[in-house]
Structure 1
Amino acid sequence: MKCYSYKMDHDFGFAPNPFWGVMTLATCKGRLRRSRNLEIGDWVIATGGRVLHKYIEHLIFAMKVDEIITFDQYWNNPNFQCKKPFFNGSVIQMYGDNVYHTNPQTGEVIQERCAHTVEGKNPKDTEQYGRDIRGKNVLISRNFYYFGVNAPELPDEFKCMASTVRDIECYHVDEKTVKKFVDWLQSNYKVGIHGDPINWQEFPFKPYPIPKL
């Protein structure tokens, strides 16, 4: 059991997306999503980065990797249709992350309108598109802890797990420490959502309340 850790500079509930009872990481972090070293049962966590500096060494989320599927499997699965963006719906629906699928004739990866869409630009001409499709897998977790704005500070013994770079770090944490961290999580928190996404505080309106799991 390994733990992959990175810093977050934005938290809109898009990457990762913790809604509808399943946490998914389908955009950003392409290097992690395509990694051959990532296995079912590994953990992914994130703490605050330079922009979210108030959340440095605070746990924004933790997810146990339960499934690793392709963009197309995610797109076509009836269970994940709720994760497709709907811009006339709630804020939760607007930030759906089920946005990539493959054109069966050309093999081109298509990006549907989403939080990474740059209006007036071809998606293929944007940095977001390139970063997203570097990893054509989606990470699925039903064993997750999403804290968002209520991110707790990591206990001193687990601060070594906070990434020192924005990209993914993994191998500096031994399995014994990872197991102790998971025990701490499970002993103190229930699986599910414990707070709104951090960047929702910037909205000029009150988003719909998130149903707690």
Structure 2
Amino acid sequence: MPRSLFSYVVCYDSGFAPNPFHGYCTLATCKPGIRKHAQVGDWVVGTGSNARGVRRGRHLVYAMRVTEIISTAEYWNDPRFEKKKANLFYNWVAASGDNIYEPLGQDCWRQLSSYHSHEDGSRRDDHVGRDTGVKRILVSDDFVYFGAEGPQLPTRFHDGGNAQMLCSGRNYRRVRSEPVIGSFESWITSLAKSGFQGKPWDWVKRRG
């Protein structure tokens, strides 16, 4: 099957979506379109927001090659991802946990107190519906996460460049061109970085 590369702007880089901790980069919430269509071997690329006060447009937040896809229920029950269950009262890594949906049967879910619940910890039905509407969790052990400290992508990947790989709007862009995907792989490999490399933008901002 031909590969795809999905790109989008990470509007809220908090360590939650994606969650790059504990040896795996996971996309378990948000971006239902990407989670619905991505397959093992595809790339997901998140770039920084160009909003006022951030100005990280065209800078790499993270890139993950999807190495596994599991269901929301499997994610909850898999011991590998136990540490990704959210705990808002421990530390920032634990608070960023994206393993927040406990299956209760018949498409019913308990939502942990998390970044997708109300401030008082109560359930937010809008997030529950969007997050569990696509019951596919993208998992990668082949990723790099730079957060607020990522490099700017080469101009050939920008809008107007010959590759036109990056999405600059609110949705996402899907690229199926093997030469473009291969060019991106060559560039990301040339960085000689993998795994967690930098703090999320929200952490840096909060620390001033």
Q: With structure 2 as the length reference, what TM-score do the two structures score?
A: 0.89
Residue equivalent to 1:39: 39
Deviation at 1:204, TM superposition (A): 4.8
The equivalences for 1:90-169 within 5 A come to: 90-104=91-105, 106-120=106-120, 123-125=123-125, 127-159=126-158, 160-169=164-173
Deviation at 1:121, TM superposition (A): 7.7
Segments of structure 1 that go 5 or more residues without pairing to the other structure are 206-213
Q: What is the DSSP-based 3-state SS (H/G/I as helix, E as strand, rest coil) of the residue aligned with 2:55?
A: helix
| Whole-angstrom CA distance in 2 between matches of 1:119 and 1:197 | 20
Alignment of 1:12 with 2:11, yes or no, is no
> Which of 7, 20, 23 is 1:21 aligned to?
23
Matched to 2:135, the amino acid is K
> Number of residues paired by the alignment?
200
Q: Is the Cα contact below 8 Å between 2:118 and 2:124 reproduced in 1?
A: no
Give runs of ≥4 in structure 1 deviating > 3 Å. 119-122
CA offsets per residue over residues 79-116 of structure 1, 9 Å max, x none?
11011112332210111110013212x43122111111
RMSD value, Cα: 1.8
CA offsets per residue over residues 113-158 of structure 1, 9 Å max, x none?
1111113585253x32232122211100000010111111001122
Deviation at 1:50, TM superposition (A): 4.3
Segments of structure 2 that go 5 or more residues without pairing to the other structure are 159-163
| Whole-angstrom CA distance in 1 between matches of 2:137 and 2:188 | 24
Identity %: 36
Q: What is the DSSP-based 3-state SS (H/G/I as helix, E as strand, rest coil) of the residue aligned with 2:138?
A: strand
Q: With structure 1 as the length reference, what TM-score do the two structures score?
A: 0.87
Q: Is the Cα contact below 8 Å between 2:8 and 2:166 reproduced in 1?
A: yes
